[in-house]
Structure 1
Amino acid sequence: MQALGLDVLFKGSNLLRLLGGLLKALEISLIAVALSLILGVLFGILMTFRNPVIRALSRIYLEIVRIMPQMVLLFLVFFGTTRVFGWDLNAEAASIIVFAFWGTAEMGDLVRGAVISVPKHQYESAFALGMTKSQTYFTIIIPQAIRQLVPLSINLITRMIKTTSLVMMIGVVEVLKVSQQIIEANRMTSPNAAFGIYLTVFVLYFIACWPFSILAKHLERKWSS
């Protein structure tokens, strides 16, 4: 175990510290996911409107999210806005804001794609029955779109969990930050600690994300049959 650097895990509370760091990463990602799901559904429905102003603003928002790296957004929100506007924003709150900003755009685009994929005659039939636009959306279109949306949104959750590793760059003590601290503290006594610690982090992330991946595949098979 010493050759692989795994002995470091059993020194003091190192393993518990890694688990605590993982829980912090999961906490940030799941709060951001919850916000993204709610705001993304609203944004996605808004994107289906034919209003040119709404379409233009939506396109600009999506392009900003797609072009700008999440790390740059983290630096901009945490280091930039706090200095410019002088507000007190801690690293965890900044991380949630950035990931919710990113997730809302991604989720909105998924919702838009799922909604517009519903055949046009479904709308026409609903309107012929005297249903309003809101009734059509919430009783006919949205339930059909959910079948396509749920597996894709689950994949978004796993992507967000993995990407939260970036928050260490603004000082959040999550699992990678803890890993670096442990490796540095044992640099002299356990020169192979980096391999063992990062291997453990790999396993922890796999355990955290694998159930979501299995659930997404199961739903895809179930609803495509």
Structure 2
Amino acid sequence: MKVMGFEVLLKGSNMLRLLEGLSTALNISLISVAISLVLGIILGILMAMHNRVVLFFSKIYLEIVRIMPQMVLLFIVYFGSTKVIGINLSAETASIIVFSFWGAAEMSDLVRGALKSIPTIQYESSAALSLSSFMTYRYIIMPQVVRMLIPLSINLITRMIKTTSLVMMIGIVEVLKVGQQIIEANRTASPNAAFWVFLVIFLLYFAACWPISLLSRFLEKKWKV
């Protein structure tokens, strides 16, 4: 058994530590997703109004998010905020800010695209029926947009869960960091431990993301517009 290296997972509280690390990653990702959904929906609606000022700044915002790697943003927010601005952010807070910044951009683009996909004739028909703008959005436009957005939003959750592995770079002890600690502590006694530890980490991420992915596919098929 020692030759295989699997025994390191059964030592002490190693499995519990991995689960706690996964819990930390999930906590950061879910808080970030909640903030991203709210900010992204608001920004997406503003972008769909075709205001030139909003479009100009939102385009810059989206390009920054698309071009800049999340890891670089983490370093800028976590280390830069302390050195330049003098704000002492915790690693968890910095991570939530960065992932919310990224997620809101992704969500706003989804909302804008969903609103633009609604045929113009539906707005014109609503006006012909003397429906107010509020009633048009409340009863005709938004139900269709929500149907399109929910599967896409669920996909954003899975992507954010996987991307939280980057937070180990600023010292957060999430599941990948715990795995590295276990491997380092058993490098001499169990040189093959890395394979089993990372296999378990893969299975933990799979267990967290696969049901969400299945839900996304189910809703996408059920609510296909």
Deviations 1:13-65 (Å, cap 9, x if unpaired)?
00000000000000000000011111111111111012111111111110000
Q: What corresponds to 1:162 in structure 2?
A: 162
User: Shift in Å at residue 138 of structure 1?
Assistant: 2.9
Give ranges in structure 2 of 5+ residues lacking alignment: none
Partner Cα distance (1:175, 1:183) in 2: 12
Partner Cα distance (1:23, 1:156) in 2: 18
- Residue identity matched to 1:108: S
Query: CA contact under 8 A between 2:81 and 2:88: conserved in structure 1?
Result: no
Partner Cα distance (1:4, 1:168) in 2: 27
What TM-score, normalized to structure 1?
0.96
Partner Cα distance (1:114, 1:3) in 2: 54
What TM-score, normalized to structure 2?
0.96
Partner Cα distance (1:53, 1:185) in 2: 55
Query: CA contact under 8 A between 2:154 and 2:212: conserved in structure 1?
Result: yes
Partner Cα distance (1:3, 1:143) in 2: 58
- Residue identity matched to 2:43: F
User: Shift in Å at residue 148 of structure 1?
Assistant: 1.2
Q: What corresponds to 2:90 in structure 1?
A: 90
Give ranges in structure 1 of 5+ residues lacking alignment: none
Q: Does 1:44 align with 2:38?
A: no
Within 5 Å, give how 1:129-208 maps onto structure 2: 129-208=129-208
User: Shift in Å at residue 124 of structure 1?
Assistant: 1.2
Partner Cα distance (2:101, 2:132) in 1: 31
- Residue identity matched to 2:68: M
Q: What corresponds to 1:23 in structure 2?
A: 23
Aligned residues: 225
Partner Cα distance (1:134, 1:91) in 2: 42
Partner Cα distance (2:138, 2:79) in 1: 41
Partner Cα distance (1:137, 1:154) in 2: 23
- Residue identity matched to 1:125: S
User: Shift in Å at residue 221 of structure 1?
Assistant: 1.6
4+ residue segments displaced more than 6 Å: none
Partner Cα distance (1:197, 1:26) in 2: 19
Deviations 1:115-158 (Å, cap 9, x if unpaired)?
11111111112223333333322332111111111111111110
